[in-house]
Chains A and B, each alone.
Chain A
């Protein structure tokens, strides 16, 4: 495949009356991890929901592997290979771990679909042994980190090519965040997935990302290889919590 896995061109999104994303252009190449960073209210989540079809952009182009997905219903987008793991994990607490995972395969139908889903489930249990151990347990009894793994696993059940991850580290202890981010790298390395990652925890995100975009009040103000952004003083001051002037 030539061309990027995901390409946004001049995407404008309104969230209510707020012009939350302004002519945003960005891309993610197959096999890349790209971080979208920015402060609270910069428009990161709004942009992700526009990509996965939950919110309709006011204008622009969004293409998945060269095919326009602008304005498609979310389940069509999922079927085309894009899974969105929203912020806050949102697992179904009373349901068992395994039922939560199976729900993620709702777009896979027919014998072939069911067989593929079964293979994916086996693979998920292999990669996330803790979920295999607790497969019969109610999801609500899992720790925060385990719930995040479950949310990731559920997204994988649809057999995606591209994962959109919204704040996967939110509310988790630093060591757990580290584990989750390592897992994201394994998803790319072992399953060949492409990842667009939204994070307020810019440092963790940029450490695993290949490239990054910095969103500020709805506009992309900086972009580049992740190591360059980590070294950029504007990024350090604004998003890495480093007080440069105090030194």
Chain B
């Protein structure tokens, strides 16, 4: 089943023709409408008219999350704000989120692309789709919502959290498709087991999971316990959100919607193109975005491209499931957090010197985040109420990152410092 067979199954030479046309007009637009790009192109003596093949894209400069942050909130928009009908955001590295905008046309294309991913994952208009992803600034909830409506499915915007209510909805509304993070799917499975609800008591058929890395054993467990076929999908808010790539039911890699995104794999260190099939950092260029086009955006996600044709008939290349990050970004309950953000808050509090550690565990299938802080010697631990107050205010500040951290004080010089270098993150989560 395809959503747009004429696009998803087009032959590669037609696809490359369409990609080049769209790349060229995107570059003409960004050079004209986005100061960052016109300035960078000028600095490099680069005329976008010189980009005459898809390989020429390598001559263009990268765009990074820092660029998006430095141009907060609207600096990278390519259209006036009055043409923007939607704003979404994701966490940034300094507490400021990165803001992305969509025109009416962008929202329509976004819906179509998510509809493709949903269709590839087995969702049809006859499904009752429970979307247990956060509805808000995060692109996941609304992205999937519009795509599922576009298909004509019955959509339940159950949003995130409140597991008992989710389960009640799942049973009573007879949900047939589940969309959430993979860890939440397992959390739901545990809660179902606790309540004595078996997989045969559920009407679920398929599930689409993303927003955080997950493994094949996790997939098998989700499929087994919920009685569904589970597919992986990929999105990143700076590029669009969900709808960039998704698995078909072959479940052997995620088809990239290449008629709308140009994908490259580069060496994360040198930025040079990786050899074909080699793992490196995924770099994406939007080909049809109007409000927030990005050129060679460094996603920070590690993957490789799969050139072999897929038995499903789609001609779009696949990317391997994301094994990790090129940078130190953490994904905690689907929320992106950089250790530097935590550090900035700790330093601001005046409580912590450079000695802290972020510990990530998985409890009840859900991520649990703790910050261990070496109390400075000056800190008077006798006055318990005062220290409690400090911890509490720190916890509240950290909450602004979108994740609840547990804060614990430890004795000075007790945190590990292998080879003199502090180990900032201890990730004990197993996939």
Contact = CB atoms under 8 A, between A and B. Distances in A.
Contacts of B20: 9, 25
A25 B108 CA distance: 25
B49 A27 contact: no
B25 A9 contact: no
B105 A231 contact: yes
Interface stretch (B11-19, B166-174, B183-191, B384-392): B11-19
Contacts of A223: 21-22, 25
B413 interface: no
Nearest to A233: B83
A9 B79 contact: no
Nearest to A26: B21
A221 B32 contact: yes
B24 A228 contact: no
A232 B105 contact: yes
Contact of B49 (A2, A23, A228, A234): A23
A224 interface: yes
B313 to A, nearest CB: 16
Contacts of B51: 23
Given A2-B11, A220-B21, A220-B28, A23 B105 contact: no
Interface in A212-247: 213, 216, 219-224, 228, 231-234
A221 B104 contact: no
A44 interface: no
B108 A220 contact: no
A82 interface: no
A41 interface: no
Contact of B105 (A4, A10, A27, A228): A228
Q: Is the interface of A mostly helix, strand, loop or mixed?
A: strand
B83 A9 contact: no
Given A22-B49, A23-B52, A228-B108, A220 B288 contact: no
Contacts, number: 57
A7 interface: yes
Q: Is the interface of B mostly helix, strand, loop or mixed?
A: helix
A23 B51 CA distance: 9
Interface in A23-61: 23, 25-27
A10 B52 contact: yes
A3 interface: yes
Contacts of B79: 233-234
Contacts of A10: 52
Contact of B25 (A27, A220, A228, A231): A220
B29 interface: yes
Interface in A1-19: 2-4, 7, 9-10
A186 B367 CA distance: 62
A9 B19 CA distance: 12
Interface string B66-106: 00000000000001000100000000000000000001110
B24 A3 contact: no
Contacts of A234: 79, 83
A213 B25 CA distance: 10
Contacts of B17: 4, 7, 9, 25, 27
A146 B29 CA distance: 40
Contact of A3 (B14, B32, B52): B14
Contact of A219 (B49, B83, B108): B49
Interface in A175-229: 213, 216, 219-224, 228
- The interface centre, meaning the residue of A3, A9, A10, A219 with most chain B CB atoms within 10 A of its CB, is A219
7 contacts: A3-B11, A22-B49, A25-B17, A25-B21, A26-B21, A219-B28, A222-B25
Interface of B: 11, 13-14, 17-18, 20-22, 24-25, 28-29, 32, 49, 51-52, 79, 83, 103-105, 108, 288, 290
Given A219-B28, A234-B83, 7 more contacts: A3-B11, A23-B24, A23-B51, A216-B28, A221-B28, A228-B105, A233-B103
Nearest first, the 4 A-B pairs at minimum CB distance are A25-B21, A10-B52, A220-B25, A219-B28
